[in-house]
Structure formats: C-alpha cells, structure tokens
Structure 1
Amino acid sequence: MNRQAQAAVMFLLGAALLHAGTTGLYLRYVKAGLQPLLLASGAVLIAAAVATVWYERRHARAAHGTGPAAPGTEKATGEGAGEGAEEAHAHSHPEPRISWLLVLPLLSLILVAPPALGSYSALRSGTALKQPYGYGKLPTSDPVPLSVVDYASRAAYGHAGSLHGRPVRVTGFLALDRGGAPYLVRMALNCCAADAQPVKIALTGELPPVLRPDAWLEVTGTYRPGLMRDPVNNGPIPYLKVVSARPVPTPHDPYDETWNN
C-alpha cells in the first residue's frame, strides 16, 4: 500500500465517520455524548489524507526538478544522480501487503449497518441494574414516563413508594426466555455497544396475545411488588403489571444511557 492508497483509505474512513456522526448511524456503535469526538476524528483523518497527497505531490515535483530544491542542496546530474537513485532504490522498502486488510473495517462501516443489540444478547447477559446515588422527582403527568432503568432501579432498590398508585409508561424491546416469560429490556451502555448490558423488567398482567422477540413496545402499567432473580448473574429483576401495551417503532437512540448517571 503506497502513500496514495493510504491517503485514499484515510479520506474514505474520515468521510464515513462524518457520515455516521451526522446521520445518527453512530448511535449503533457509541453513546450520543461521543458525537463531537467522532466528528472531530473524521475531520482529522480527512485533513491528514489531504496533507499526505499534498506532500507526495510536492515531493514528486522536487524529485523531477519541477519544484524548488530543499535549502542547502543542489540538483545532482550525471553519474552522481544515477548513484543517488540506485542508493535510494536500495534503501526503499515495499509496504507489506497485509496492510490492505485495513480496508476491511472501512468496507464494513460503509456497506454494513449492524442493528442494535437485541433479545439474543439480553438473554445471554445478566442484568446490569445497579442502585443509583439518588432519584429525581417524578413528573406530575399521568401516566408517568420512565425509562426502563429508572423504573427498574426505583422498584428494586427500596424506592418503590414513589411508584405506588402511579401508572407508568415504559418503552423497551421484548425478550422471551426459554420458558416463554416476557421481559421488557433496554440495553444500557457506558461508552459503546461493545460494553452494552441489559436492564430487564419482568412483565405480568394484560399482555398482548402475540409476543414477538425484539419488538419494541410502549407499556403502560403499575408497580407490582416483588423481585425475581436473573438466572445469568442473580441480579434483581422487578415486576411491572401491564395494563396496556402497543407496538412502537425502534427509537432513534436504541440504547439507554441513564444507568450510570
């Protein structure tokens, strides 16, 4: 891979990062707060590619005598020029062919847009629910809109009093365990999809007659006392008694970032 090819790969990778950062595609990979860094990385890669092309063209012009010579040097002619060229050729090293494998991540970023993690990953990972440092005041709306993490943490860690008598509305995707038990899930992340872990709510009550894994549901219900234990890591999974449920489109940001706030 010569310098021109390297510059082309850097330019395309930078353009792909800018495209992902400006269209929302980046939310499949990293949390929303990293968008400025992603855009900055794309801009730096494009600038580096342009600088590489400019440097190579300037170097080629100087080598052919069409550009200014470096200070303190003179153009070599005759036998001296030939010896210099042979010496430069003897010390040049071809780029390893394995470097072309760098194109594969670029092609995967351009051609393949992986879906957000779903029920397959959720059922094979233990719940990541942990007790927060504090709880915000619930809004006065009825039903109360809550994230999966907010409802689960309140219900599991002794703050369920704020949920008594209050209908809540929670959105997540559906997961069914081997026994057919339904969970409302949201994958929570710290940084990127590689560290995403599920937070689960066990559903009871008026469930839809047909339950399809990975379908996104907006569930309205009430707090139901009690906890079950996640069979993967023995973590707490609270219950939610469903009053109604309706399918909704996959949200723009499918991950939940509130669990580490």
Structure 2
Amino acid sequence: MNRQAQAVVLLLLGGAVIRACFTDLYLNYVKEGLRPFLIAAGVLLVAAAVMTLWYELRPVPRAAATGDGPGQPEARAGGHDDHDHHDHHDDHDHHDHHDGHGHHEPRVGWLLILPVLGLLLVAPPALGSYAAGQAGTALASQQQPSDYPPLPEGDPVRVSVLDYASRALFDKGASIGDRRVQVTGFITAGPDGQPILARMVLSCCAADGRPVKLGMTGNAPAGLADDTWVEVTGRYSDRIGRDAVNDAEIPYLDVESWRQVPAPKQPYE
C-alpha cells in the first residue's frame, strides 16, 4: 500500500470517527465524556490524510524534476552532458518499472480498509446479551460501602441497574426498604434458562464493558427475545442467585409490572 492509499484509509477512518460523534453512534463504543477527544482524533486523522495527499499529488516544478537551474554543475568533459544524464536516468526508471519487484507493497495492506468501511456502512451495535452471557457480573470485584444515601423522591423511584444491585447486595436492601423502584435493561438468559435483566457498565470504552445482572421474581417478563429492552417496576427481594460465569452473587427484584421500551440513547451505565 503506497502513501496515497494510506492517506485514503486515514481519511475514511477520520471521517467515520467524526460521523459517529455527530450521530450519537459513538455511544455504542465509549462513554459520553470522551466525545471531545474522539472529535479531536478524527480531525487530526483527516488533516494528516489531506496533508499526505497534498504532498504526494502536488505538481513538481520542472527545475526540481530535471535538475536544471542555478547551482547545477556544467556538463562534464568527455561528452557526458545533461541529455546523456537524463537518458541514463530514464533508462534506470524504465528498468525499475518493468522489473516488477522492489516497489510493490503487499496487497494485504488493503485489508485495513475493511473495518473502516464496516464502521461507515454497517455500524456494530452496542454490547448486549451475548457479551453479558460471556462475562461475569461486574459487582463481583467491587467493594462498596454499606452507608448508601436515601433514595430520591418519587413512586416508583427510577434507579440504575448498578445502583439497585449494589444496594441489594452490599446494603442488604436497607436503603431501599419497601420503596418501589424502576430500572431499565435488556433481557438475557440466566443460568437456569430464565430471563434476567442486565445492563453493561463501562470504565472507558466497550472493550472493558462488564454486565450487571438482576434476577427477577413475581410478574417477570416472559416470552421476550434476548436484547429486548424493558422497563421493570418492583420492590426489593432478598433472594440471591449465582452467576454461572464467575460464581458471583446476583441480586433479585420482585417485579410488579413491566413494559417493553426502545433501546436508550445511552445503552451503558
């Protein structure tokens, strides 16, 4: 792959990053706070591509191409003038062109454009049930304090899956009491085949995404496909399950009602 092709790949990659940032597509891959850094990175990639193309495609002055102009030595004695020198140079270039070796970069370099086209044409979705099924719940390694603040006002009170799970496990539901809570997540299969509610949490980007899982009792959703987003309303349950992946504890929610909802703009917590 020559420099012009490399510049085209940089241009497409930078354009894909900028497009993702201005269409909220980037939220499938990184946290919202990283948007300014992604925009800056995309702009730099586009600028590098444009400068490379300009350098490669700019017209070369005739004097620089032929070696004529001030400062050039006169023709050497013995009949070797500038014409002979140019003929020798042309013959050398002609030989290199027909030799077919030494100036051809590996064509496998063009494969670098595939992920760029994939991001432009077929954007990968956010992490979902498959990723949740392959990783253990993120609460296994967290050490949370037990003095959680009271829940906000409201009935039901909207909380994140992570907040409810942390209070249920590490506070034993004391800060929840008999309050009704409302959480939103996607459906995935539990270790016993029953549906559980999950939400992916990120530290930085999708590469470090881990699921937080909630078991459901009572009027739990049934007959829904994996990755279906639901809004669940219920109360604290002292039931505890085990994650089949890392054997960590999974808290439960006693479901009173639920409804199917569209995937949120920000799929991660």
In the TM superposition, residue 73 of structure 1 has moved relative to its aligned partner by 5.8
Q: Tell me which residue corresponds to 1:120.
A: 130
1:179 aligns with 2:192: yes
Unaligned runs of 5+ in 2: 74-80
Q: Deviations over 1:43-97 (max 9, x none)?
A: 0111011111221233x423x4489x89986499422334456667869733322
Asked whether the 8 Å contact 1:131–1:153 carries over to 2, the reply is no
Asked whether the 8 Å contact 2:191–2:244 carries over to 1, the reply is no
Name the % identity. 50
- Please show how residues 1-261 of structure 1 align to structure 2 within 5 Å: 1-58=1-58, 60-62=59-61, 64-65=62-63, 74=72, 77-84=82-89, 93-129=103-139, 130-132=142-144, 135-158=148-171, 160-177=173-190, 179-256=192-269
Q: Which amino acid aligns with 2:39?
A: L
Pair 229,3 (structure 1): closer, same or farther in 2 beyond 3 Å: same
SS in 2 for 1:61: coil
In the TM superposition, residue 213 of structure 1 has moved relative to its aligned partner by 2.2
Unaligned runs of 5+ in 1: 257-261
TM-score normalised over the length of structure 2: 0.83
In the TM superposition, residue 247 of structure 1 has moved relative to its aligned partner by 0.6
Asked whether the 8 Å contact 2:132–2:188 carries over to 1, the reply is yes
SS in 2 for 1:173: strand
Q: Tell me which residue corresponds to 1:259.
A: none
Q: Which amino acid aligns with 2:60?
A: R
Moved more, 130-139 or 183-192: 130-139
Runs of 4+ that moved beyond 6 A: 69-72
Pair 72,200 (structure 1): closer, same or farther in 2 beyond 3 Å: farther
Tell me, in whole angstroms, the C-alpha distance in 1 between the residues paired with 2:69 and 2:219.
83
Tell me, in whole angstroms, the C-alpha distance in 2 between the residues paired with 1:184 and 1:232.
16
Tell me, in whole angstroms, the C-alpha distance in 2 between the residues paired with 1:137 and 1:83.
87
In the TM superposition, residue 197 of structure 1 has moved relative to its aligned partner by 1.5
Tell me, in whole angstroms, the C-alpha distance in 2 between the residues paired with 1:82 and 1:139.
85
Q: Which amino acid aligns with 2:118?
A: S
Asked whether the 8 Å contact 2:235–2:253 carries over to 1, the reply is yes
Aligned length: 254
In the TM superposition, residue 26 of structure 1 has moved relative to its aligned partner by 1.3
SS in 2 for 1:160: coil
SS in 2 for 1:233: coil
Tell me, in whole angstroms, the C-alpha distance in 2 between the residues paired with 1:70 and 1:54.
24
Pair member with larger Rg: 2
Q: Deviations over 1:126-181 (max 9, x none)?
A: 11112335745521122111110110011101252110011101000111236332
Q: Which amino acid aligns with 1:29?
A: Y
In the TM superposition, residue 117 of structure 1 has moved relative to its aligned partner by 2.1
Asked whether the 8 Å contact 1:15–1:46 carries over to 2, the reply is yes
